[in-house]
Chain A
Amino acid sequence: SQTIHQWPATLVQPVGSPLSLECTVEGTSNPNLYWYRQAAGRGLQLLFYSVGIGQISSEVPQNLSASRPQDRQFILSSKKLLLSDSGFYLCAWDPSTLAGGPFRNIQYFGAGTRLSVL
């Protein structure tokens, strides 16, 4: 079965420090991968998605970047964190092999990383 791993679970970082969050998926090949952010009391905001290695699409211009160095690995980074980067970061995947079908809209989420920038 497929599983998604996301770490760390919680992170406290000072303003101006770098960030690296990692997400890996097991049990599937060539998944679509996503990074979402949820600010306190707010809805989920899609930050980046990737349909393949090295292919990154950004939904919101910001202080963050994403990379996909391997098929099942997705990394969220920042060179200098801002206070506004605090939030709950979620990685998700869906099966790209089902493109064109309704099951392509079923995304599976990791447990999330709660980031506090102080």
Chain B
Amino acid sequence: DAKTTQPPSMDCAEGRAANLPCNHSTISGNEYVYWYRQIHSQGPQYIIHGLKNNETNEMASLIITEDRKSSTLILPHATLRDTAVYYCIVRASGGSNYKLTFGKGTLLTVNP
């Protein structure tokens, strides 16, 4: 799995968009970008994933650059409940590798 780099922490004002960056310069053609988050003292929660096209669901949007070397997770209207550690993970689909590697992620703090 390709290595990812994320800032250790970010702040965002409540109601504003939160833009969380992730660098994955060694990503391979068959690897997807996944985002999870972990609210304090809870298990991680899947947010969204994408290959090369931008994706949107009820939780967030994922913007992947054309060269696929970086991506941005966007929470359009951050709330206090979005305060969590956000993990960017790059993995190929399927195969026999069952291991999800969670790095240190980005601690997003949403302030009132």
**Using a CB–CB distance below 8 Å, which chain A residues touch chain B?**
32, 34, 43-44, 46, 49, 51, 57, 59, 88, 90, 92, 99-102, 104-112, 114
Given contacts A46-B99, A107-B100, contact A100 B94 (CB under 8 A): yes
Q: How many residues of chain B get a CB closer than 8 Å to chain A's CBs?
A: 22
Q: Are B32 and A102 in contact (CB under 8 A)?
A: yes
Q: Are B100 and A112 in contact (CB under 8 A)?
A: no
A40 to chain B, nearest CB (A): 11
Closest to A4 in B: B43
Are A114 and B99 also in contact (CB < 8 A) when A105-B32, A105-B34 are? no
Q: Tell me, in angstroms, the Cα distance from A96 to B7 when the chains sit together.
A: 33
B34 partner, pick from A44, A90, A106, beta carbons under 8 A: A106
Contacts of B44 in A (CB 8 A): 44, 90, 92, 107, 109
Distance (whole angstroms) from the CB of B56 to the closest CB of chain A: 16
10 cross-chain pairs, A with B, having the tightest CB-CB distances, nearest first: A109-B43, A100-B94, A102-B93, A44-B102, A49-B98, A106-B46, A90-B43, A102-B32, A105-B91, A43-B102
* Complex A-B: 10 CB contacts under 8 Å: A43-B102, A49-B98, A51-B98, A59-B99, A88-B41, A104-B93, A106-B34, A109-B43, A112-B42, A112-B43
A112 CA / B41 CA spacing, docked (Å):
8
Closest residue of A by beta carbon distance from B99:
A46
**Contact residues in A for B51 (Cβ distance below 8 Å):** 102
Whether B102 pairs with A32 at a CB distance below 8 angstroms is: no
